[in-house]
Amino acid sequence: MSEVQSRVALVTGASRGIGRAIAVELARAGHRVACCSSSDGAKDAQADIEGEGGTALAVQADVGNPAAVDAAFGEIEAAWGPVEVLVNNAGITADGLVARMTDDQWGDVLRTNLSGAFHAIRRATPKMMRNRWGRIVNVSSVSGQAGAAGQANYSAAKAGLLGLTRAIARELAPRGITCNAVAPGPIVTAMTEDMPAEWRAVMEATVPLGRLGNPEEVASVVGYLCSEPAGYITGALVPVDGGLGMGH
């Protein structure tokens, strides 16, 4: 683990994929990392971090529920103190063509992917403001800028994260708190591994770099945005998409 100033970090949606890679990346940077998920899957991320000699804590919360978010923060604060680094990665999908999309499909995705980030930011910021330091990173998506057929709910939520990011960046900048967004493109996860080979070939052909990304490539960008040297970057949208979103 790196010899740097250790911060208290919270990563939501940390049970697998991009979130788990981000949690590991932050731990490698020397931070104490709370791994949050809506199930007990965050314990696997905790085990990964502790296996490398880092410090981690698994907490369980549905980020769409403000009371659950408050309880998770309380657990972290009791163990380590205030959250100084917050990464909002929790997200779900409920795909469907807009003419057939149900209210539940729309509402559940917006509640988790957008409102969940708001709940966590609202809970974290009073103590960040008091300490006059903080790093917030929201995980958006290339589909938030380019749109994706069959994902009106997901694209709307991910686009909303950019507006939220920039509003928060302006509001909290005087207190030394930065807020940025990353926009991953198609990334290799357990979900994509189950997709047909034909689907993967089509996706690879649409990406200028000719391949899917991996979670660690997203995590490295997030890790930098959470670092001390990134203190002059705020309100930015950083694509990690192999060039797929160029022009958006």
Catalytic annotation, residues = 154
Rounded to whole angstroms, how far apart are CA atoms 12 and 177? 19
Nearest to 224 by CA among 139, 135, 120, 159: 135
Nearest to 148 by CA among 205, 94, 188: 94
Nearest to 153 by CA among 98, 116, 73: 98
Q: Which two tokens stand for residue 82?
A: 């205030």
Rounded to whole angstroms, how far apart are CA atoms 196 and 16? 21
What distance separates the 2 farthest-apart alpha carbons in the chain?
54
Rounded to whole angstroms, how far apart are CA atoms 169 and 180? 7
